[in-house]
């Protein structure tokens, strides 16, 4: 559906701005009026990572007057495969500062505002209130629900995107005109069921595909042109090179934007989404060891069965010597093969999946089983620093 422009136009464009945005100005649907609206717009990018990188770069190039960046992380070498706003010389730098420098190099006419903080319930309302539109580039469910709820409570539209391996999704959530994120996903998935990009991987260029959709939608909403993805979910499969548009209806019983909302203020999103399931937390309590403890056991020849519960592709990158690969999803089918006369030790990349695997083992009677805190990442950073970290 066609919607009115979100922002009023600026008073005018300078000669330099006319020169810079000339290819927009000769598009009848954008023209001077649309470009002046972009100049007057204030857009906040939540994250300067895989999705935030192309989004910020294209919003800057398009002439959005004020760009806010919420980012607390630093640039890591593993980011460079997809987070194109950063370069090799930025490794170790603040992502927010690196993104700001790239944005200003693209378009020095843009006003860049940095929010170098972790977005949470204590600051989200104050930060969001400064902007017309939010673009969500986060990669975890707790922050996604936080962004959604804050946007709905403030009456702000936001453009959402999600990526995983070769698949991407995008939509525009604006409770005033259509559904919110909770209408599409009323409940978060169980902890550990949906791997993050850090655990499952992502095709670098997929970020550009989804972020370009997000940027397009942001421009459409700001200027009032076209038919934005309000009430529609765009699903992209890079391997099949297909796009599907799925209608998403507003849920009249939505606890946030429905007829009788029960959520009228921000909640505890970590508790709502759960970082680790209750079963995993219970299993890991008193049954967690450090990478250094595992090293001591291995050096002493302790009788243990070391199980790696990651995926085969991760196993090929790096592993702990002496381990056996049994992916977490396949562990129940292999329980009968595990020895009863020695302690079973499980690990993954960071400790989340291994905690779930530990719950499975405990439930099957392996009461002495333990898991490694920090997983193979802790082993590579604390025990054998010659190994790669991914």
Distance, CA of 171 to CA of 163 (rounded, Å): 12
State pLDDT tens for residues 79-96.
Answer: 999 999 999 999 999 999
Relative orientation angle of helices 52-62 and 204-223, to the nearest 10 degrees: 40
How far is CA 26 from each of CA 34, 219, 311, rounded to the nearest angstrom? 11, 16, 51
Q: Residues 56-76: what's their mean pLDDT?
A: 98
Res 192: pLDDT: 61
Residue 12 clears pLDDT 90, i.e. is over it: yes
**What are the boundaries of each domain within the chain?**
15-273, 278-383
Contact 158, 173 (CB under 8 A): yes
How are beta strands 111-115 and 133-136 bridged, if at all? Answer: unpaired
State pLDDT tens for residues 185-220.
Answer: 998 886 666 777 777 889 999 999 999 999 999 999
Res 134: pLDDT: 98
Instruction: State what percent of residues in the chain have pLDDT above 90.
Output: 90
The answer to whether the pTM exceeds 0.75 is yes
Report domain 15-273's class. alpha beta
Nearest to 147 by CA among 171, 193, 113, 180: 180
Res 191: pLDDT: 66
Residue 15 clears pLDDT 90, i.e. is over it: yes
Residues designated as active site = 197, 348
CATH code for the domain defined by 278-383: 3.40.250.10
Q: Residues 359-378: what's their mean pLDDT?
A: 95
């Amino acid at each position: 559906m066609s919607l009115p422009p979100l922002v009023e136009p600026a008073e005018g464009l300078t000669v330099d701005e006319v020169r810079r945005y000339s290819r927009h100005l000769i598009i009848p649907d954008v023209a001077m009026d649309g470009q002046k609206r972009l100049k007057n717009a204030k857009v906040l990018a939540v994250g300067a990572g895989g999705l935030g990188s192309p989004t910020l770069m294209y919003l800057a190039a398009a002439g959005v007057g004020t760009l806010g960046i919420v980012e607390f992380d630093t640039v890591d070498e593993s980011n460079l495969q997809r987070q194109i706003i950063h370069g090799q010389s930025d490794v170790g730098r603040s992502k927010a500062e690196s993104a700001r420098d790239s944005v200003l190099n693209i378009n020095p006419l843009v006003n860049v505002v940095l929010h170098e903080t972790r977005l949470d319930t204590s600051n989200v309302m104050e930060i969001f209130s400064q902007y017309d539109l939010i673009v969500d580039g986060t990669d975890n469910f707790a922050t996604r629900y936080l962004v959604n709820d804050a946007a709905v409570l403030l009456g702000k539209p936001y453009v959402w995107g999600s990526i995983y391996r070769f698949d991407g999704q995008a939509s525009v959530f604006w409770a005033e005109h259509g559904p919110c994120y909770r209408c599409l996903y009323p409940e978060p998935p169980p902890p550990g069921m949906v791997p993050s990009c850090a655990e499952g991987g992502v095709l670098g260029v997929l970020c550009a595909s989804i972020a370009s959709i997000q940027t397009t939608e942001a421009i459409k909403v700001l200027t009032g042109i076209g038919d934005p993805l309000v009430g529609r979910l765009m699903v992209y499969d890079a391997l099949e090179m297909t796009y599907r548009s799925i209608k998403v209806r507003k849920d009249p019983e939505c606890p946030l934007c429905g007829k009788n909302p029960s959520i009228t203020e921000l909640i505890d999103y970590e508790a709502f989404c759960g970082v680790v399931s209750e079963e995993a937390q219970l299993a890991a309590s008193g049954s967690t060891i450090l990478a250094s403890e595992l090293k001591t056991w291995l050096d002493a020849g302790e009788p243990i069965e070391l199980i790696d519960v990651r995926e085969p592709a991760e196993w090929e990158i790096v592993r702990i010597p002496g381990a056996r690969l049994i992916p977490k999803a396949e562990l129940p089918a292999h329980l009968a093969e595990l020895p009863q006369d020695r302690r079973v030790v499980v690990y993954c990349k960071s400790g989340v999946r291994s905690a779930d695997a530990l719950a499975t083992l405990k439930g099957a009677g392996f009461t002495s089983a333990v898991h490694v805190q920090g997983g193979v990442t802790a082993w590579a950073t604390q025990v054998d620093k010659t190994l790669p970290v991914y």
